[in-house]
Structure 1
Amino acid sequence: MNAPRLAAVLWDMDGTLVDTEPYWMAAETPLIESFGGTWSHEQALSLVGLGLEDSARILQQTGVRMSVDGIIDHLTDDVMRRLATTGVPFRPGARELLASLRASGVKTALVTMSMRRMATTVVDLIDFEAFDVIIAGDDATRPKPFPDPYLQACEALGVTTEEVVAIEDSPNGLRSAVASGAVVLGVPLMVSLAGAGAHEIWPTLEGRTVDDLARLHASHRRAAAAAATEGVTR
């Protein structure tokens, strides 16, 4: 049985496509301190890849006396102001790989736990038509690490999870993508991805090509098919 071809690549945004995690951390600390709390770098790292509602509840536990929606809006506005000043801080190789996928006719989706207005701001700052679909935090039926955002992206693209590669930088994001049934590539930035289930981990996207992603996808789909066949014949 032939393995399904690579039809789409699904991208996480913060920390995977763009290096905005420091922006989020820079927004969290003064907010918490304004309510008399403290916030360590280790605590900030624990929020990487987490849904914004869950992150906001954690900030409430540090003493931030704001609603969940109020915290999300405050942090989103702060990060958007930084983006408007600095532009899109792509991770190494990400823009080039994304542009190559578009030129090759491979569908692309952005799957992020940031709010849609934040996601569209980033996408609008990219100097080419980068994505067919955006699934943002306020679109997802359940946030990462549930599989819903990736399943919704596949449905919107008209592909199956067997036909896609998902790219993530955080354990929560990896768990979401793995649970969806996609082939999952981890590209770490601020936190370790060990034990989170990535099918492969690349230290960087720099120098990587569409062919590299296609080989990754085909290799793991063939392995999955062989394992399924072996299970049936035993």
Structure 2
Amino acid sequence: MDGTLVDTEPYWMRAEGELVSSFGGVWTHDDAMLLVGAGLWDSALILQRHGVALDADVIVQRLTDRVQEQLREQGVPWRPGARELLREVVDAGIPTALVTMSVERMARQIAECIDFPAFAHIVSGDAVSEPKPHPEAYLTAARLLGVAPDHCVAIEDSPPGLAAALAAGTISIAVPHQIELPESTMYTRWSTLEHRTVGDLQDLYTARFDASERPGPA
């Protein structure tokens, strides 16, 4: 969600900086980049090491409250092409799940801002025991959708998210935003979702299963 569907990373970075500074600490851009794509409770541990003297659950609550406040004040900043591709996928009858390390209440706030029923399921950071890069969230989403993970297409923007999607066995697409993601034979790299279509997703799906069905050397 954050960084792939919506550009909320600056909201998170502002919330983190405000929280650290309220305890007399310093929070740099490099510090904030370490948390991109990480689970919120893992992020809370890092913030504690920067002087935030609060329980991890309280840190997660305060960060989420502040980001949700910014969403209400400034609106939902969509990533280029994300909403349009999502609409085309839904119109094609392809089931979708939102897999995010944000907590459910924030994920639902984003989903409710979409003017069509975008997701059959939401798998949030507070609904799993292991955050990304562990594959639990993607495996859970595939189970809820009733589809084998290797028949799912996952779109990610961060190293932890991409690692989770790959570990789950999905057809993975990297769309870099805050952090550069290199070209790799393990996944497909798109510079943007703008002008991408269901046909592009179908091509990746077909390519995987065509390749798996080709006979090996005699």
Asked if Structure 1 and Structure 2 have the same fold, meaning a TM-score greater than 0.5 normalized by the shorter chain, the answer is yes
- Look up the equivalent residue of 2:14 and give its one-letter code: A
In structure 2, the partner of 1:119 is 107
Contact 1:23 1:79 in 2 (8 A): yes
Identity within the alignment, %: 50
Matched, 1:175 2:163: yes
Shift of the 159–40 alpha-carbon distance from structure 1 to 2, 3 Å rule, reads same
1:190 and 2:168 aligned: no
- Write the distance in 2 (CA, Å) between the matches of 1:196 and 1:149: 23
User: 1:89 and 2:64 equivalent?
Assistant: no
Match of 2:53 in 1: 65
CA distance 1:225–1:22, change in 2 (3 Å): farther
Structure 1 SS opposite 2:194 = coil
TM-score calculated relative to the size of structure 2: 0.96
Cα separation, 2, equivalents of 1:87 and 1:124: 12
* Matched letter for residue 182 of structure 2: A
Partner Cα separation in structure 1 for residue 48 and residue 126 of structure 2 = 20
Secondary structure at the aligned position of 2:172 is classed as strand
Distance verdict in 2 for CA 1:147–1:39, change over 3 Å: same
**2:160, 2:209 → 1: CA distance?**
23
- Residue 136 of structure 1 corresponds to 124
1:85 to 1:60, Cα distance in 2 relative to 1, 3 A:
same
Q: Any idea what SS the aligned residue of 2:153 has? A: strand
Counting matched residue pairs gives 218
| TM-score normalised by L of structure 1 | 0.89
Write the letter of the residue equivalent to 1:173.
G
What is the RMSD computed on CA atoms of the aligned residues?
Answer: 1.5
Q: CA deviation at 1:198?
A: 4.9
Question: What does 1:28-67 correspond to in 2, within 5 Å?
Answer: 28-67=16-55
Mapped partners of 2:185, 2:57: distance in 1? 31
| Preserved contact between residue 183 and residue 189 of structure 2 (Cα < 8 Å) | no
CA deviations 1:210-234 (Å, max 9, x no partner) are: 00011012213333444xx53xx78
| Residue deviations 1:4-56 (CA, integer Å, cap 9, x gap) | xxxxxxxxx00000000000001000110111111111110110000000000
Which consecutive segments of 4 or more residues in structure 1 shift more than 3 A?
A: 195-198
1:198/1:47 CA distance change after superposition, 3 Å: farther
Does residue 15 (structure 1) correspond to residue 11 (structure 2)? The answer is no
Q: What secondary structure, in the 3-state scheme, does the structure 1 residue paired with 2:126 have?
A: coil
The 3-state SS of whatever aligns with 1:184 is strand
Q: Describe the shift of the 1:39–1:185 C-alpha distance in structure 2 as closer, same or farther (beyond 3 A).
A: same
Mark the runs of 5 or more structure 1 residues left unpaired by the alignment: 1-12
The answer as to whether partners of 2:133 and 2:162 remain within 8 angstroms in 1 is yes
Deviations 1:139-176 (A, max 9, x none): 11311000000000000011111211000000000000
- Counterpart in 2 of 1:3? none
Uncovered stretches (5+) of structure 2, i.e. residues with no partner: none
- Relative to structure 1, the CA distance from residue 77 to residue 198 in structure 2 (aligned partners, 3 Å threshold; closer, same or farther) is farther
